[in-house]
C-alpha cells in the first residue's frame, strides 16, 4: 500500500505474480531435470559419473541433504549443461532499456525493447566448444581450480536466471530446489532406458520447451 493506504497492486496484478511464481518454481526445475536425465541416458558414462561422484560425497547409507550441495559439482554441471542446451523458453522476457547502453559491440538506445536469445547464448560457437553436445565438462574448468559450480551465470555466457534489476529474484532457492531434486533422483534410483526404446528421442516439442515425446524410463530404487 502507498502512504494513503491505497493498494499498489490490483487483484489482477497479484494473480499474475502468483501465476508467474508458480511457473518459475515448477517448470524450471522439472524441465531442467527431465532434459538432463534424457541427455544422460543417451550418454551412460555421464550418468555413471554422476552416480559415482554422489556416492563419493554422500555414500549409500543416507539421503542427500542441503548441506551436501556445495560439494555436488558434477550434478550441478549436468543441470547447468541442460539449462545451456534446453532453456525453458527460447528468449528472455522482454525488457526496455532505461538509458543509452553499450553491451559488447552493440549500442542500445534508451527506450529499446530488449529480448535476449537464450538458445543463441547457450549455443554460441564463440563461447562453447562443441555447443550442440551435452558435456558437463563445459562447466568444470573453474571447479578444477577449486571453485564451486553454481547454476547462475554472472557473465551471461548462458541465460539461466538473467541478471540485474529484473533478473530472477530467487536464484538461491531455484538453484537449491533444482540441485536437491536432481541429486536425490540420481542418488536414489538406477535409471535405464526401457528395452524396446533403444535411445531417448531428444526432439523438442513444437513451441514448447519439453521433449516432444514423454520421457519413459525405468527407475529401480
Ligand atoms: C531453476 C529455477 C529458476 C530459474 C531457472 C529461473 C529463471 C528466471 C528467469 C530467466 C527470469 C527472467 C529474468 C529476466 O527477465 O531477465 C526469472 C524471473 C523471475 N523468477 Fe525465476 N527462476 C527460477 C526459480 C524461481 C523461483 C523458485 C522463484 C520464486 C519462488 C522465482 C521467481 C521469479 C520471479 C518473481 C521473476 C520475475 C522477476 C521480475 O520480473 O522482476 N524464480 N526467473
Contact 175, 75 (CB under 8 A): no
pLDDT of the residue at 180: 97
CA-proximal residue: ligand 1, atom 10 (nearest): 161
Nearest to 166 by CA among 114, 119, 209, 208: 114
| Domain ranges (residues) in the chain | 11-89+120-187
Question: For residue range 190-199, what is the model confidence (pLDDT) as tens digits?
Answer: 999 988 888 9
Neighbours of 84 (CB within 10 A): 26
Compute, in angstroms, the gap from residue 184 CA to the centroid of ligand 1. 23
Q: For residues 188 and 221, give the distance between their C-alpha atoms in angstroms, rounded to a whole number.
A: 6
Among the residue ranges 20-34, 123-137, 170-184, the one predicted with the least confidence is 20-34
Q: At residue 106, what are phi and psi to the nearest 5 degrees?
A: -105, 135
| Average pLDDT rounded to a whole number, residues 107-134 | 95
168 marked as part of a ligand binding site: yes
User: What's the pLDDT score for residue 65?
Assistant: 97
Q: Is 20 in the pocket of ligand 1 (CB under 6 A)?
A: yes
The backbone region for 178, taken as left when phi is positive above 0, alpha when psi lies in -120 to 50, beta otherwise, is alpha
In this prediction, residue 159 has a pLDDT band, given cuts at 50, 70 and 90, of very high
Q: Decide: helix, strand or coil at residue 27.
A: helix
**Residue 31: CB within 6 Å of ligand 1?**
no
Distances (CA, A) of 162 to 113, 116, 132, 168, 207: 16, 9, 21, 6, 21
Give the residue-averaged pLDDT of 178-191: 96
Chain segment 44-70, per-residue pLDDT in tens: 999 999 999 999 999 999 999 999 999
Mean pLDDT over 210-216 rounds to 90
The 3-state DSSP class for residue 15 equals helix
Pocket test for ligand 1, best of 161, 181, 182, 183 (most atoms within 8 A of CB): 161
Question: Any residues with CB less than 8 A from the CB of 41 and at least 6 apart, and which?
Answer: 47, 191, 192, 193, 199, 200, 217
Cα 21 to middle of ligand 1, angstroms: 7
- Averaged pLDDT for residues 98-104: 91
Query: Is there an atom of ligand 1 within 6 Å of 96 CB?
Result: no
What sections of the chain are H helices per DSSP? 11-42, 44-58, 73-85, 118-122, 141-144, 171-188
Closest-CA residue, ligand 1 atom 1, reads 174
Sign of CA dihedral 160, 84, 59, 195: positive
pLDDT at 154 over 90: no
Q: Above 90 in pLDDT, residue 137?
A: yes
Per-residue pLDDT band for 210 (boundaries 50, 70, 90) equals confident
**What are φ and ψ of residue 67, in 5° steps?**
-70, -15
The whole-number pLDDT of residue 66 equals 96
Our answer on whether the CB atom of 18 is closer than 6 Å to any ligand 1 atom is no
DSSP state of 148: P
Which one is predicted more confidently, 208 or 28? 28
pLDDT of residue 62: 96
* Residues 136, 78 contacting (CB under 8 angstroms): yes
CA of 166 to the centre of ligand 1 (A): 9
pLDDT at site 150: 94
Judged against a pLDDT cut of 90, whether residue 146 lies above it is answered with: no
Fold of 11-89+120-187: Cytochrome p450 (1.10.630)
Amino acid at each position: 500500500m502507498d502512504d494513503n493506504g491505497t493498494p499498489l497492486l490490483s487483484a489482477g496484478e497479484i494473480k499474475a505474480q502468483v501465476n508467474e511464481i508458480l511457473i518459475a518454481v515448477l517448470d524450471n526445475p522439472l524441465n531442467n531435470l527431465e532434459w538432463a536425465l534424457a541427455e544422460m541416458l543417451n550418454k551412460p558414462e555421464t550418468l555413471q559419473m554422476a552416480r559415482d561422484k554422489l556416492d563419493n560425497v554422500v555414500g549409500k547409507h543416507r539421503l542427500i541433504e542441503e548441506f551436501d550441495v556445495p560439494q555436488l559439482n558434477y550434478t550441478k554441471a549436468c543441470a547447468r549443461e541442460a539449462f545451456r542446451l534446453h532453456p525453458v523458453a527460447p528468449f528472455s522476457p522482454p525488457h526496455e532499456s532505461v538509458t543509452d547502453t553499450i553491451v559488447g559491440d552493440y549500442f542500445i538506445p534508451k527506450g529499446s525493447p530488449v529480448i535476449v536469445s537464450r538458445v543463441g547464448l547457450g549455443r554460441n560457437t564463440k563461447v562453447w566448444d562443441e555447443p550442440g553436445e551435452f558435456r558437463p565438462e563445459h562447466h568444470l574448468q573453474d571447479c578444477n581450480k577449486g571453485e564451486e559450480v553454481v547454476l547462475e551465470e554472472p557473465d551471461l555466457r548462458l541465460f539461466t536466471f538473467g541478471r540485474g534489476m529484473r533478473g530472477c529474484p530467487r536464484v538461491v532457492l531455484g538453484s537449491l530446489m533444482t540441485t536437491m531434486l536432481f541429486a536425490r533422483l540420481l542418488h536414489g534410483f538406477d535409471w535405464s532406458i526401457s528395452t524396446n526404446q533403444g535411445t531417448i528421442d531428444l526432439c523438442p516439442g513444437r513451441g514448447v520447451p519439453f521433449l516432444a515425446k514423454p520421457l519413459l524410463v525405468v527407475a529401480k530404487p
